[in-house]
Chains A and B, each alone.
Chain A
Amino acid sequence: MVEPAIALFGGAYENASQVLEELLRESGARYALLLDRKGFVLAHKEALWAPRPPALDSLATLIAGNAAATQALAKMLGESRFNELLHQGATHGLYAEEVGELALLVVIFDNSAPVGRVKLFGKRAVQALEVITRDSVVQPGTLGIDHEYRDGASALLDELFGN
């Protein structure tokens, strides 16, 4: 495919996780996620006191779709981009911010965390994550998925969907 991907592993993953953890501690938010623009979760952290989060796959997909729609709207209005997304309900809020061209930071918080603080520390986290993700971009064909993997996955397709 034409689009490059972000592959976080080793030190880069550790660093990204640390940034997310720091963000949770400083902002008082519940969950922090780093997603790619296609809606896949690259890294996530939960505050120890927070209840179990909703399904991360669904969350990531909806936020990536929402962010993509927001960028399309920005372009229609002649803006190069809208930088952030903020949704606030009676008790919960969601803040999403672009991390370079390929990723998104998502922070989910409740009304014990002031939105100003979430945004302030969110923007600070974005700066750090931008460097980490920029260094973790891999071009297609370098991901190391080989024929052995293909054959194994193919056998599982038969197992799940029948012969």
Chain B
Amino acid sequence: MSTINFAAREINFKIVYYGPGMSGKTTNLKWVFQQVPQNRKGEMVSLATEDERTLFFDFLPVDLGEVKGFKTRFHLYTVPGQVFYNASRKLILRGVDGLVFVADSAPNRLRANAESMRNLRENLAEYGIKAEDIPIVLQANKRDTPDALPVEMIQAVIDPEMRLPIFEAVATTGVGVFETLKAVSRQVLSRVAAAS
């Protein structure tokens, strides 16, 4: 649920990057951090292990600007992708407004993508949220992998009904990063506007 601070005239949205370990969630955030002008972003916080695996979460606040007198901000989070960090992953989903599911295009990660999506559905259910009821955008990352699987094959395992929009990306070079973020942000805004 978005948070409105009338006193500070701020509207905040929470967007979470989900997906299997090493799929590029943190890389997405790092690209956004590098590209967004200094005056439109806050500090990037990373709670990571020594080998740069996300331990709890990464966090990056992005200022969109002022709309109808309200400062609008997107708080971007990643979850730890490794299977054994599920307890932490679940905590990050609290109050989420929109999700980016970052899938890995490598053939040997197909099962990991499927398992992570199932895990996402289970964790959302614990908050009483159905995956169908929340904006989710898919990203097929690492398209530059020499033997990258066809996007349709990846989507078939994480979204068999082909219901969700999917973007191809190479997050290390920024390809598809902003497109994905814009798509999920638009869905979040539309959903909140429709609810009013």
Distance between A21 CB and nearest chain B CB, rounded to angstroms: 14
Partner of B1, one of A42, A65, A140: A140
Q: Are B43 and A57 in contact (CB under 8 A)?
A: yes
* Complexed CA–CA distance, A90 and B42 (Å): 28
User: Could you say which residues of chain B place their CB within 8 Å of the CB of A154?
Assistant: 186, 189
Chain B residue nearest in CB terms to A42: B5
Contacts of A144 in B (CB 8 A): 196
Report chain A residues within 8 Å CB of B67: 149, 152-153, 156
Residues 77-94 of chain B, each 1 if its beta carbon lies under 8 Å from chain A, else 0: 000000000011011101
Is B42 a contact of A153 with CB atoms below 8 Å?
A: no
Chain B residue contacts of A2, Cβ below 8 A:
1, 127-129
Report the count of interface residues on B (CB-CB < 8 A): 53
Q: How many residue pairs, one in A and one in B, have C-beta atoms under 8 Å apart?
A: 142
If the complex has contacts A38-B14, A61-B45, A153-B64, are A7 and B196 also in contact, measured as CB distance less than 8 A?
no
Q: Is the CB of A5 within 8 A of B3?
A: yes
Residue-wise, chain B 152-196 has the 8 Å CB interface mask toward A (1 for contact) of 000000000000000000000000001001100110011011011
| Total contacting residues, chain A, CB less than 8 A | 50
Complex Cα spacing A106 to B7, Å: 19
Q: How far is the CA of A140 from the CA of B186 in the complex (A)?
A: 18
Kindly state the separation between the CA atoms of A151 and B61 in the bound complex, as whole angstroms. Answer: 21
State the Cβ distance, A9 to closest chain B Cβ, in Å: 3
Q: Which of the candidate stretches B17-25, B68-76, B104-112, B140-148 sits at the interface with the other chain?
A: B68-76
For the complex formed, measure the closest distance between the CB of A56 and the CB atoms of chain B, giving whole angstroms. Answer: 9
Whether A148 sits at the interface, judged by CB under 8 Å, is yes
Residues of A within 8 A of B189 (CB): 145, 149-150, 153-154
B122 CB to nearest chain A CB (Å): 16
Chain B residues, Cβ within 8 Å of A62:
45, 59
Closest to B73 in A: A57
Q: Are A8 and B186 in contact (CB under 8 A)?
A: no
Please give me the residue from chain A that is nearest to B37 by CB atom.
Answer: A160
CB distance from B25 to the nearest CB of A (A): 16
Alpha-carbon distance A146/B65, docked complex (angstroms)? 17
Given A3-B95, A17-B7, 6 further pairs, Cβ under 8 A: A3-B94, A6-B3, A55-B42, A57-B75, A58-B59, A58-B61
Name B residues whose Cβ lies closer than 8 Å to a Cβ of A.
1-8, 11-12, 14, 36, 40, 42-43, 45, 47, 56-57, 59, 61-62, 64-65, 67-68, 70, 72, 75, 87-88, 90-92, 94-97, 127-129, 134, 178, 181-182, 185-186, 189-190, 192-193, 195-196
